[in-house]
Chain A
């Protein structure tokens, strides 16, 4: 593995020069080795220091400080005086709006896995075949993924107006009977938002899975075919298992992304999460209660709850799924 070569490089690099020149006296050698150590420490500080400061200052510190704020009753002004323990968390879980927001977030996450997963896998397999126009297809399919979500949201919210492009197209292809008040019907609006999210993010799954598919030598599938496997069997028994690590990384990234979904919902359904909060998610709830009403300590409590969702998922997922990928980068990171 690459790990051993790197370790070798680290050891033999300066060390080789040292053994090649045998020092005359033990004292001098110790002095030199101390100098070398000092030099290495300096280099490491120069290399790691700035990144570490940036990371600790803007990623870890806010979360840690936020967890502390969340134990107080605080509106962002003045000192923290009113300590009330886990009260913010209690309020949150007793607020039906928040419980509903959690439900919606989990529904969106589940739908992303169940619908976007197979869909992006299917399209990735299609794009992995050779056919005329494949290059164009790839370009087009990935395009929505790089579009700013704000652009996507504004675009779709206009197309989804009653009588808008979506309705017109559906009538034109004979599906006029299925036309809904996409953004106003409380039974539909969450799924409308999901459809827009899918339009935006499907390309990501396709990029990732296509990259994984390209890493599978075609000979393997050919060998399976020669051994009498049907295309379906070859896919099921050869391609999918080899794609396992990629799929598991996709699941990981998708779940973490879905748990924090905000932009598109906020711009399509507004800060109230649509009519009756029917499309409210943890992200929009956090923005509305924590930021807009300036209940900062309550907001940080919500952020911490969202983080706990992420963290729990990660632990469970790491324990049961990612551990199998001995070569997976994320596994190496967490173990």
Chain B
């Protein structure tokens, strides 16, 4: 048992200290940082945080990230659950072929496809456009969405569907009014996965956006770093604030992420 705690403390330290460092050093002046950064800030300098929170670009990056992740998630989960319904509860020829086609998308990670994707977006006139990021992100989230949702939808008893059909509901109504509410836990999980994936995506926005007012938060962080490279404290404050939405959402959603992982494991 003491060993458990010892190991726990080491892990805790390695994980938490970097995060604390960023938040604390964001509350120093750059001169204070170069002197010593192991003690608490003395005095606390809140001007870095204030500067960033009052700058338009931080909120712009945040808004862009939220918009893109929102659109990507809605599309991935909406279209993904429709496809998963067709692939789980309809018997038709070629069903497994379609399923395999979708799932094969796992082999085309967005990081590898980014350059060909960039050329495709150029062709479609979607460069430097929020949809040029949101649509591909939704498309690349479809495989995992379908992979998680299909077994979940399959496991819901057929009697329920029969009952709905006898009562005169069409299958599409059964899908919307009965099946989807029953799949809520799995839907929360796939939504989170799609949202986090989009929120953290760096390469695609890097290729697609040229106008700074379109940048997402991760792109903003890296731009900020190169623009204000002399002012370490300001960069740290920006980085800390950029971490807040992800960490905050995670606190609230942790159990769903774990549930999703176990869903994927059980297949």
Contact = CB atoms under 8 A, between A and B. Distances in A.
A115 interface: no
Interface string A1-17: 01101111111111011
Contact of B107 (A148, A256, A296): A256
Contact of A137 (B11, B242, B262): B11
Given A13-B165, A129-B4, A333 B99 contact: yes
Interface stretch (A27-35, A53-61, A106-114, A223-231): A53-61
A148 B221 contact: yes
Contacts of B158: 5-6, 8-9, 12-13
A147 B246 contact: yes
Given A148-B200, A208-B261, A69 B119 contact: yes
Interface string A128-156: 01010100011111111011111101111
Contact of A62 (B16, B87, B113, B155): B113
Q: How large, as a class, is the contact surface on chain A?
A: 35 or more
Interface string A79-97: 0000000000000000000
Q: How large, as a class, is the contact surface on chain B?
A: 35 or more
B215 to A, nearest CB: 11
B212 interface: no
Q: Is the interface of A mostly helix, strand, loop or mixed?
A: helix
Nearest to A133: B8
Given A58-B139, A62-B120, A6 B267 contact: no
Which of A147, A150, A259: most chain B Cβ within 10 A?
A150
Given A43-B90, A137-B8, 6 more contacts: A58-B136, A62-B116, A291-B115, A303-B112, A310-B109, A334-B100
Interface of B: 1, 4-5, 7-8, 11-12, 14-19, 21-22, 37-38, 75, 79-80, 82-83, 85-92, 98-109, 111-120, 122, 135-136, 138-140, 142, 146-147, 151, 154-155, 157-158, 161-162, 165-166, 170-172, 175, 196, 199-200, 202-203, 207, 217-219, 221-222, 225, 232, 235-236, 239, 242-243, 246-247, 249-251, 254, 257-259, 261-262, 264-267
